[in-house]
Amino acid sequence: MKAEFIAVVNKLEEGRSLDKKEYRLLIESACDETFDFIREKAIKVRGKIYGRGVYIRGLIEISNICKNNCLYCGIRKDNGLCQRYRLSDEEILLCCKEGYDLGFRTFVLQGGEDPFFTDDRLCGIIGQIKSRFSNCAVTLSLGERSTESYERLFKAGADRYLLRHETADKSHYERLHPSDMSFENRIKCLYELKSIGYQVGCGFMVGSPYQNSDTLAADLKFIETFEPDMCGIGPFIPHRDTPFGEMPAGSVFLTCYLLSIIRLIKPNILLPATTALSTLDKNGREKGILSGANVVMPNLSPESVRGKYELYNGKAHSGAESAQLVKELCRSMEKIGHSVLTERGDIKK
Ligand code: SAM
């Protein structure tokens, strides 16, 4: 390992901050040896705050109807082959009840930007979840909405909001999205969510088309300065019916390497080992946890719709990705010396 690499890692450990050039050096130095070096430090720092506990969140995919046309996404508006669905209020509440009985204390309502889910409708759903399951957290992941909407949903009881920034480089953002979507608005939404009081998550795909070490360095710098409570990163995986259908998938190795770096940037961050990681590698979840992640988000959506929320080809939704198989998940975590925690799992400040 080069002395320069070690010096930069030490600087990150001591000051939790690097300039973009230094982040680029870390990214360009990724190899088995540097990964082991960084991962060991990431695990140690996570252990001091969270021990070996792994938080679980029940993911409920409430709608795959979307008004947007993100070039990478299988549920984009123009994918005429996608079989559309949306869950009713009753179905969402049933998912929560099932999740509650399985031990989940956080429900993540995720979906495409479906205009059917107005503020009134969402406030009603959030209110019901909070009154029936008052010791649970509600996380929303419903894309870009107005300030007033974010405020109303927060007042109704939503605790957290996940909105991946997708890339912190404006020109890269513009190559991943159509011209009616804007980088500025994405970032504005993230800052608004934070100022309203949500615990906020950003994130990006690893290996998205046109990504390079410069754009990744910008992502890491953004995470450092934005200071999110959560950060979701997972490999890009192509979906055959999108403009990026022939693009190569991202790397599990680089995703894990970046998880370790992000843990070093913000030791208390909530970092999921994502479904995309498990989709590309049957041990992806375990690899993510062993790189510094501390959250997993199994699927609580009704079985009948799980295959339809197909963001990318082959998306995992069975085995330990399924919330019903939480025991399997517990066993797989125990095998790697970790334990599943059934609590709300807020960020430790
Ligand atoms: N509509 C909401 C939003 O925009 O935040 C939430 C749903 S969106 C489908 C959730 C995330 O899926 C996106 O932020 C994106 O990073 C990820 N995603 C979409 N297509 C993907 C693909 N082909 N490979 C990996 N991840 C993908």
Q: How far is the CA of 4 from the centre of ligand 1 (A)?
A: 36
Q: How high is the pLDDT of residue 158?
A: 98
CA angle 251, 284, 315 (to 5 degrees): 80
Q: How far is the CA of 304 from the centre of ligand 1 (A)?
A: 21
Position 319 pLDDT exceeds 80: no
Q: Which atom of ligand 1 is nearest to the CA of 239?
A: 23
- Please tell me if the CB atom of residue 141 comes closer than 6 angstroms to any atom of ligand 1: yes
Residue pointed to by tokens 């843990």: 263
- Please tell me if the CB atom of residue 244 comes closer than 6 angstroms to any atom of ligand 1: no
Summarize the confidence of residues 239-248 as an average pLDDT.
98
In DSSP terms, 85 is beta-bridged to none
Contact (Cβ atoms closer than 8 angstroms) between residue 103 and residue 326:
yes
The closest alpha carbon to 302, from 121, 74, 99, belongs to 99
Q: Read off the pLDDT band of 316 (50, 70, 90).
A: confident
Euclidean distance between CA atoms 104 and 137, whole angstroms? 10
Query: CB-based contacts of 55: which residues, under 8 Å, 6+ apart?
Result: 106, 270, 294, 295, 296, 341, 343, 345
Give the Cβ contact number of residue 16 at 10 Å.
14
The closest alpha carbon to 255, from 224, 239, 231, 238, belongs to 231
Position 97 pLDDT exceeds 80: yes
- Please tell me if the CB atom of residue 113 comes closer than 6 angstroms to any atom of ligand 1: yes
Contact (Cβ atoms closer than 8 angstroms) between residue 301 and residue 61:
yes
- Please tell me if the CB atom of residue 208 comes closer than 6 angstroms to any atom of ligand 1: no
Summarize the confidence of residues 314-321 as an average pLDDT.
82
Position 323 pLDDT exceeds 90: no
- In the chain, what is the straight-line distance between the N-terminal and C-terminal CA atoms, in Å? 34
Q: Which atom of ligand 1 is nearest to the CA of 72?
A: 23
| Atom 13 (ligand 1) nearest CA | 164
Q: For a ligand 1 pocket test, name from 60, 62, 63, 72 the mutation site with the most ligand atoms within 8 angstroms of its C-beta.
A: 72
Q: How far is the CA of 110 from the centre of ligand 1 (A)?
A: 10
| Atom 4 (ligand 1) nearest CA | 143
Contact (Cβ atoms closer than 8 angstroms) between residue 151 and residue 140:
no
- Please tell me if the CB atom of residue 161 comes closer than 6 angstroms to any atom of ligand 1: no
What percentage of the chain carries pLDDT values higher than 90?
A: 97
Q: Read off the pLDDT band of 104 (50, 70, 90).
A: very high
Query: CB-based contacts of 315: which residues, under 8 Å, 6+ apart?
Result: 237, 275, 276, 279, 309
Chain-centroid distance of CA 157 in Å reads 21
Q: How far is the CA of 75 from the centre of ligand 1 (A)?
A: 9
**Mean pLDDT, all residues of the chain:** 97
Euclidean distance between CA atoms 171 and 296, whole angstroms? 31
- Which of 120-129, 136-145, 172-181, 310-319 bottoms out in mean pLDDT, i.e. has the lowest? 310-319
Summarize the confidence of residues 197-202 as an average pLDDT.
98
Summarize the confidence of residues 111-131 as an average pLDDT.
98
Q: For a ligand 1 pocket test, name from 63, 140, 311 the mutation site with the most ligand atoms within 8 angstroms of its C-beta.
A: 311
Summarize the confidence of residues 261-268 as an average pLDDT.
98
The pLDDT tens digits of the residues spanning 8-29 come to 999 999 999 999 999 999 999 9
Query: CB-based contacts of 319: which residues, under 8 Å, 6+ apart?
Result: 325, 328
In DSSP terms, 233 is beta-bridged to 204
Amino acid at 33: E
- What's the token pair of residue 253? 């190795």
Position 318 pLDDT exceeds 80: no
Q: Which atom of ligand 1 is nearest to the CA of 73?
A: 20
- Please tell me if the CB atom of residue 237 comes closer than 6 angstroms to any atom of ligand 1: yes
Q: Read off the pLDDT band of 127 (50, 70, 90).
A: very high
3-state SS record for the chain: CCHHHHHHHHHHHHHCCCCHHHHHHHHHCCCHHHHHHHHHHHHHHHHHHHCCEEEECEEEEEECCCCCCCCCCCCCCCCCCCCCCECCHHHHHHHHHHHHHHCCCEEEEEECCCCCCCHHHHHHHHHHHHHHCCCCEEEEECCCCCHHHHHHHHHCCCCEEECCCECCCHHHHHHHCCCCCCHHHHHHHHHHHHHHCCEEEEEEEECCCCCCHHHHHHHHHHHHHHCCCEEEEEECCCCCCCCCCCCCCCCHHHHHHHHHHHHHHCCCCECECCHHHHHHCCCHHHHHHCCCCCEECCECCCHHHHCCCCCCCCCCCCHHHEHHHHHHHHHHHHHCCCEEECCCCCCCC
Summarize the confidence of residues 323-342 as an average pLDDT.
93
